[in-house]
C-alpha cells in the first residue's frame, strides 16, 4: 500500500474564531475537510512527530513569505492566537485530488505563535506549547492569596 501524508494548519483564538485554514498537500486547490475549506499554502513543520513529551515542546514552521501569510502570523503573534497543526496519512492511489474520509490522524499539535522571523522569500515561526510545564491549566494559573488563602509564615 502506498502512503502519503497531508498537513493542515488552522489559526484561531481561544473563543474558537478561525482566522486561517491552510493545507499543504493538494497543490493549487482549496479542499473541504472536516466541514471546512482549506486553502493550499506550502508549509513545512519540523518536530511534529518527535519523541518528546511534556509541556515545553515547540514546533518550527516554515512557508513562503507571501503578504497574506506574513500578515496572518504577525497578527497571531500580537494577539496571542493559537495554531493547530494536524497530520494525516492516507493511500494516494485511491483518490489523490480530495481529502479521504478514511485518512488517519498521525499527529497533532496546538500551540501559540511565540516567535517569527524570515526574509523576503521565507517566513519561519515557532509554536510553543499552551500548557504549563508544571500543570495542565490553559493559561497557567498564578497562585494568589485569593486562590490559596494567606500563606503560612515560618
Please count the residues of the chain: 154
SS3 content of the chain, % helix, strand, coil (to 5): 10, 40, 45
Residue 66 lies in a domain: yes
In a domain, 103, yes or no: yes
Residue 113 lies in a domain: yes
How many domains is the chain built from? 1
Of 21, 19, 23, nearest to 42 by C-alpha is 23
Q: Which residue has the higher pLDDT, 136 or 18?
A: 18
Q: Is 154 contained in some domain?
A: no
Q: Could you report the per-residue pLDDT of 10-63, keeping only the tens digit for each?
A: 999 989 999 999 999 999 999 998 889 999 999 999 877 644 444 456 889 999
Predicted local confidence at residue 50, as pLDDT: 47
Residue 88: CATH number of its domain: 2.30.110
Residue 51 covered by a domain? yes
For the CA atoms of 67, 73, 78, 83, the dihedral, rounded to the nearest 10 degrees, stands at: 160
pLDDT tens string 66-119: 999 999 999 999 998 999 999 999 888 887 778 887 888 988 899 999 899 999
Residue 65, pLDDT > 60, answer yes
In-domain check, residue 153: no
Query: What is the H or E stretch that residue 58 is in?
Result: strand 58-64
Q: Report pLDDT for 54.
A: 47
Residue 132 has pLDDT above 60, yes or no: no
For 75-88, how does the pLDDT look when each residue is reduced to its tens digit (9 = 90+)?
999 998 999 999 99
The whole-model pTM stands at 0.76
Would residue 87 count as lying in a domain?
Answer: yes
The pLDDT of residue 53 is 46
3-class SS at 130?
coil
Share of the chain above pLDDT 90, in %: 46
The pLDDT mean for the chain works out to 83
What range defines the domain where residue 36 resides? 4-148
Residue 135 has pLDDT above 90, yes or no: no
Amino acid at each position: 500500500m502506498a502512503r502519503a501524508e497531508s498537513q493542515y494548519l488552522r489559526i484561531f483564538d481561544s473563543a474558537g474564531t478561525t482566522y486561517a485554514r491552510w493545507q499543504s498537500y493538494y497543490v493549487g486547490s482549496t479542499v473541504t475537510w472536516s466541514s471546512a475549506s482549506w486553502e493550499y499554502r506550502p508549509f513545512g513543520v519540523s518536530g511534529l512527530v518527535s519523541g518528546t513529551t511534556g509541556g515545553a515542546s515547540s514546533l518550527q514552521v516554515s512557508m513562503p513569505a507571501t503578504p497574506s501569510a506574513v500578515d496572518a502570523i504577525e497578527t497571531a503573534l500580537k494577539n496571542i492566537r493559537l495554531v493547530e497543526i494536524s497530520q494525516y496519512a492516507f493511500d494516494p492511489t485511491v483518490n489523490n485530488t480530495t481529502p479521504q474520509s478514511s485518512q488517519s490522524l498521525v499527529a497533532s499539535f496546538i500551540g501559540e505563535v511565540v516567535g517569527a522571523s524570515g526574509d523576503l522569500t521565507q517566513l519561519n515561526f515557532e509554536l510553543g506549547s499552551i500548557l504549563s510545564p508544571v500543570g495542565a491549566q490553559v493559561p497557567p494559573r498564578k497562585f494568589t492569596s485569593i486562590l490559596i488563602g494567606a500563606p503560612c509564615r515560618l
